[in-house]
Amino acid sequence: MNRTQILTRWFTQDNNPIQVFGTVAAIVVGAIAVRPIGTSGTGLAVLCLLVLVSLMTCTRLIPEGRLSPRAQLTVLCVWSLGAAALLALDHSGASALFAYFVTGHAGYRLESRLSLPFAACTSALCAGVLLVPWGGHHTSWIVGAFTGVSVLVGISNRAHTEALRSARAAAEQAELAARAEARAETLAERARIARDVHDVLAHSLAGVNMQLEVTDALLESGDIGRAREAAQRAQSLVRSGLTEVQRTVGDLREEALPLVETLRSMLDSATDAGTLTVDGPPRELPVRRTQVIVRCAQEALTNAHKYAPGAPVRMRLEYLEQREGLPEETVLEVVNSAPPEGSRPLAGAGSGMGLVGMRERLDLVGGTVSAGPIVDGDDAGGWRVRVVIPA
C-alpha cells in the first residue's frame, strides 16, 4: 500500500484521530465551562441536559451506515433540542459549541436536501431561546442564529471524504489490475521459457539419441570405425547442446541473435547433409522475431532427427519485400527427405508439444506455420515446415 492509499484510508475511516479528538474536546470543554451545574433546580436541569448532549455528541463516533436514515434524523433532532435547551439555561454561553457540532454533523451525515433545512431550524431554535428573557443567560441571540453555518463545513467534509473514498477505490482497482497484468505477464514469460527449454533439450537430446541408436546398430553389424564416429558425433551434439543452453539464457536476457549464423551453426551441428539458402535482401529483425525463427528451426530439425534420421535437410531463409497488398515477410522453410533405408525413425517418441509450442510462439508475433508430409517430387516421403512472420 503506497503513501496516498494510507492517507486516504486514514482520513476516510469512521473514527480517525481528528474526529475522536474533536468529540472528546467538545465534551471536556462543555463539562468545564457550562454553568450552573448542581443537584437541584436549574443546576440539575443543566447537568441532565449536558449529559444528554454529550451522549448525542458521542454518536459522531458511530460508523456511517450503522444507523438507519430515520434513526439518524431522530438522534440529530434530540441532539438539536437538547443543545437549544442547554443554551437557554447556560450562563456561560459555552453550550453553543454543541449546537454548532450538531449542525456540522448533520451536514456530514445527511443529504443536502435534509441537512440544510435541519440547520436552518436549529439556528432559528437557538436564536429563539436566546431571545426569550429566561434562565439568566447573557449570550447574544446572534450566536444562536449562526449555529447553522457549520452545516456548510459538514457538507464540505462529506464531499471531501467521498472524493477520497473514490480515489481509494480507484487506487485499489488499479492495484488489482496491475497485479493481474503482472501475473499474466509472468505466466506468459513462464510459457516462453518452457518453450525455450523444450526446444533446446528436445533438439539436443533427440540428436544424441539418434547417434546412440546409430552407434548401437553399427556395433551390431561389427562396423567399429563408423560406430566410433557416431559416438564422437553424439559427444559433439552434447557440446552443441550446452552451447544452445547458453544461447537460450542469452535469449531470455533479450540479447540480439545473428540469425543466419545461428541457423547455419544449428544445421551444421544437426546433420552432415544439410544446406542453408538465404534469398532476398537481408534485414535486421526485432529480437523477439529472431528468437521465434530460431526456435522454430530447432523444432523442425528435432523432428527431422526423430522421424528421418540420416536424411538430407534443406533450410531456406527468405526475406520478402513489401508487395502490393502484402507486408514485408520473413519465411523459413525446412525440408527433409524421406528417411534412408536402414534408418531407425523414432516414431512415437514425440509428445506433440513441439508444434504446439511453435504455433504459440508465432501467435505472439502474428506469424503462421504450416507443416505436413511431402507427397510428390524428389522429397516425396519427407516433411516440410514453413514459417511466415510479417515485419
**Residues of the chain scoring pLDDT < 50:** 7, 10-11, 254, 347-349
268-291 pLDDT per residue, tens? 877 767 889 999 888 888 878 888
**Contact call for residues 297 and 332 (beta carbons, < 8 A):** yes
CA distance 118 to 74: 11
pLDDT of residue 137: 65
pLDDT of residue 11: 47
pLDDT of residue 221: 83
Residue 89: its H or E element: helix 69-89
Pairing between β-strand 313-320 and β-strand 329-336 as defined by DSSP bridges: antiparallel
Asked: is 176-390 a CATH 3.30.565.10 domain? The reply is yes
Residue 50 has φ and ψ, to the nearest 5°, of -65, -40
Non-local CB neighbours of 92 within 8 Å, separated by 6+ positions? 33, 34, 35
32-61 pLDDT per residue, tens? 999 889 889 889 999 999 999 999 999 998
Mean of the per-residue pLDDT values of the chain: 83
Q: How far is CA 50 from CA 24, 84, 118, 237, in A?
A: 14, 11, 21, 94
- The amino acid present at 258, given as its one-letter code, is P
End-to-end CA distance of the chain: 42
**Contact call for residues 145 and 131 (beta carbons, < 8 A):** no
Every domain of the chain and the residues it spans? 3-145, 176-390
CA distance 347 to 80: 91
pLDDT of residue 10: 47
pLDDT of residue 279: 92
Cell numbers standing for residue 46: 443543566
- The amino acid present at 287, given as its one-letter code, is V
Non-local CB neighbours of 198 within 8 Å, separated by 6+ positions? 353, 354, 357
**Contact call for residues 34 and 99 (beta carbons, < 8 A):** no
